[in-house]
Structure 1
């Protein structure tokens, strides 16, 4: 074989070996990630990621948002406060990766996004509230027939009044009202505050609660239910805060209670703090119950409000035969984000 052909073959072999050398495409290493949340409640977090031999960085901000950052330096604004698990992946030139996770706690200023102050006398604002109408027990063997009559629901003197009345009406022994914001207002994550004075009387069952907007397709309890406040007249001043979802519904619901004073004679604040990481229920700013929120739960979608006073049923129990009427008064309902 001529010398020059042998030299060419040796050169090609040498180049092939060189291109296969791991030193030409090193794996990223020494990944370091830092996060500095802002102190102005803006939701901004400044991230810095560095790694040896990295050519880009992919951020998973822990709330379903991803971003590729060539330099590793980025400021991301979280729309909602909470604690998030952030995962950062450093990528090499031909796809090699190394990852690291960290938790970051974010504070955001709350702004009022929806409310009803009930300052206009008459029927509740039709732009904000609709009604469930009729009887049939609503799956709980309830005894009332829901109407939209002013006898059962009206705004007067700055408060919403939902009145349960003992009367024979369309085959039911009681009437009341059930307002809902379905198809008018729904939201995901935020803080809810409701000021209310509860009805008195054994057998009353007032509730301030929420259902997932997909209830018509997913059904209950797959849609999720958040009971910010429930009370029954047979256990005066005992406030229930409860979540219902698959595996924890009905009598196996996920909740807790708190005793307060004057639930039926004074206004109290019933609150919900709902984020991607947790669902917390309060009475007068005192925590009743906390549930860690995860992607497997149905509490990561839009929910709408329901305000009602039921009579009897599986929760309200036997109604006092001397009951005549009782009213839940709501001073305001507010949603902040």
Structure 2
């Protein structure tokens, strides 16, 4: 049957539409597209390195000069910006990876955690963290200090020990050890712990002989004292020539002693040898003080060529003329070393209660100013 002209036209348009739809479907199924753009790839930084420079740090001041100022520098491959987080605080942004930061919230030497984050152009990031020890002091920094910020045994560059029993010249009951059960640094303080041990007692006695010795200056010791009867804590000093001349010729300065029967006062005393008749000599005073076991107090020595002064919380209660006119052949013109201990019983500890188990002296810091 012959097709008319209208039928031919209709057939032509039908075939055209069918072909067009088929091509379109093929394009979708095959994933082909006229768009030739390539999706962006993620850029992840790498090799992140953080360096720290403490202002004024040197061999004598490894934790800086007391200003608390630290320069941080972070660098990473493919990083375009950085963020710094100090001790979990708010993130501080830096475009070039540098940050000048002042640690001034805690006086002394403290550890701080520093996290640095490196960001790429696609906002991908990597991070690293470090602990940094920094010194900060209000006013003039000390010439020497032990801030007891490193957990573990006391710093061997500052302290050695007296060990053993034998009464120590005062009928004391304890045996001194260097065991962690009796002496440890933790929570930012030195803890000297006296304990009942079988039929006796153990404790610890630290000394700086041969390590830290000085003549003249101000020494501040922030401490919390034991509360138990029978304990005899002391913060004191002996002449550095003690091994050769003995006691009392070497001289002794007691910055703080507390008796075992009166926990509401502390004593300051000096001991020496009266060379005019080769006899023992001493001079001492006491001062009332409250909350010595529940709160820290600062026990201080101000020592010059002419006098020795002892203070509690900056209040002077003891002064003695110590020059040659007052004390012939005075030992108080020589170097001294520091001693920290808790004795049990003895001449100033007194009777020890039968139910005593343990007590402690805690020392937050020792700072020497000259």
Q: TM-score, normalised by structure 2?
A: 0.59
2:19 maps to none
The match for 2:146 among 108, 116, 125 is 116
Query: How far apart are 1:247 and its partner, in Å?
Result: 3.9
The answer to whether the aligner puts 1:266 opposite 2:277 as a matched pair is no
Structure 1 residues 169-202: Cα deviation after superposition (integer angstroms, max 9, x where no partner): xxx6000000000010100000000000001111
Query: Of the candidates 324, 329, 333, which is equivalent to residue 362 of structure 2?
Result: 329
Q: Does 1:196 align with 2:196?
A: no
3-state SS of paired residue (1:245) = strand
Could you tell which deviates more after superposition, 314-323 or 154-163? 314-323
Of 246, 249, 252 in structure 2, the residue corresponding to residue 222 of structure 1 is 249
Partner of residue 210, structure 2 = 183
Measured against aligned partners, the alpha-carbon deviations of 1:268-291 in whole angstroms (never above 9, x if no partner) come to 000000001110000111112101
Cα distance between partner residues in 2 of 1:207 and 1:120:
23
1:149 corresponds to: 179
Residue 334 of structure 2, aligned match among 301, 304, 311: 301
Q: CA RMSD in A?
A: 1.9
SS in 1 for 2:215: coil
Other structure's SS at 1:217 match: helix
- Rounded Cα–Cα distance in structure 2 between residues aligned with 1:151 and 1:193: 26
Q: 2:352 corresponds to which residue? A: 319
Are the aligned partners of 1:134 and 1:145 in contact in 2 as well (CA < 8 Å)?
yes
Q: Would you say how many aligned residue pairs link Structure 1 and Structure 2?
A: 226
User: Does the CA contact (< 8 Å) of 2:159 and 2:208 recur in 1?
Assistant: yes
Q: Secondary structure at the match of 1:138?
A: helix
Give CA-to-partner distance per residue, 1:306-327, whole Å, 9 cap, x none. Answer: 0000000011111111111001
1:244 aligns with 2:274: no
One of 151, 160, 163 as aligned partner of 1:130: 160
Residues 37-48 of structure 1 mapped to structure 2, 5 A cutoff: none
Name the CA distance, whole Å, in 1 between partners of 2:357 and 2:281: 32
The equivalent of 2:233 in structure 1 is 206
**Contact 2:163/2:175 (CA < 8 Å) preserved in 1?**
yes
**Contact 2:248–2:280 (CA under 8 A) maintained in structure 1:** no
Query: For the Cα contact (< 8 Å) 1:244–1:250, is it kept in 2?
Result: no
| Length-normalised TM-score, structure 1 | 0.65
Change (3 A) 1:233 1:272: same
Q: 1:190 to 1:226 in 2, by over 3 A?
A: same
Tell me what 2:81 maps to: none
* Separation of aligned partners in 1, 2:322 and 2:279: 19
Match of 2:317 in 1: 288
Task: Quote how far apart the aligned CAs of 1:252 are.
Answer: 5.8
Aligned with 2:323: secondary structure?
coil
Q: Which of the numbers 169, 175, 181 marks the counterpart of 1:139?
A: 169
Which 5+ residue runs of structure 2 have no aligned equivalent? 1-138
**Matching residue of 1:160:** 190
Q: 1:115 to 1:274 in 2, by over 3 A?
A: same
Give CA deviations for 1:243-286 in whole Å, capped at 9, x if unaligned: 01124999963010001110111000000000011100001111
SS at match of 1:294: coil
Check conservation: 1:208, 1:306, Cα contact below 8 A. yes
Cα distance in 2 for partners of 1:142, 1:281 equals 25
Deviations 1:14-50 (A, max 9, x none): xxxxxxxxxxxxxxxxxxxxxxxxxxxxxxxxxxxxx
Give the whole-Å Cα distance in 2 for the aligned partners of 1:113 and 1:325: 35
- Aligned partners of 1:252 and 1:184: how far apart in 2? 28
Moved over 3 A (4+): 247-252
